[in-house]
Amino acid sequence: MSESFVEILTEWDIVEARQLGRNEAKRIGFGAVDQARITTAISELARNIYLYADKGRILIETIDMSGTKGIKIVAQDEGPGIEDIRLVMQDGYSTSQGLGAGLPGVRRLMDEFDIQTTVNEGTIVRIIKWLR
């Protein structure tokens, strides 16, 4: 299984993470719309790191579970963490603040979504999309 990562320090690193994700998604065999969805999810997560954590990384890997292929993305930072996960996972919260699709959007674009966060330590978001 291939695995690669991009450090997110500047806004242009977001672009690099997107590029890496799109290439990987294309290679696995995702269609154009799913490629765009996966890329958007990566973009949102990388932007969160860039805007709120200053520093972090996006890991992208191809996974295979009993023959079903998929793409797994892990966004990891050592930022301030999220105090109220339920609030940021609420529909309408992010959009109403003018921040775009936010984490609920990311969850909807993907098949699996998991978040771990500790205040003052950082946040890890893991997302997966399966190829059908």
The correct pick among 7, 27, 31, 114 for binding another protein (CB under 8 A) is 31
Which 40-69 positions form the footprint of another protein (CB under 8 A)? 40
Q: Do 64 and 10 touch, CB atoms closer than 8 A?
A: no
Binding-residue pattern over the window 73 to 112 for another protein, x denoting contact by CB under 8 A? ------------------xx--x----xx--xx--xx---
User: Which region, judged by CB under 8 A, interacts with another protein, from 6-14, 31-39, 50-58, 69-77?
Assistant: 31-39
Smaller CB separation from another protein, 2 or 96? 96
Asked if residue 60 lies in contact with residue 72, where contact means CB atoms within 8 angstroms, the answer is: yes
Say whether residue 36 binds another protein (CB under 8 A).
Answer: yes
DSSP structure string for 30-62: --HHHHHHHHHHHHHHHHHIIIIIS-EEEEEEE
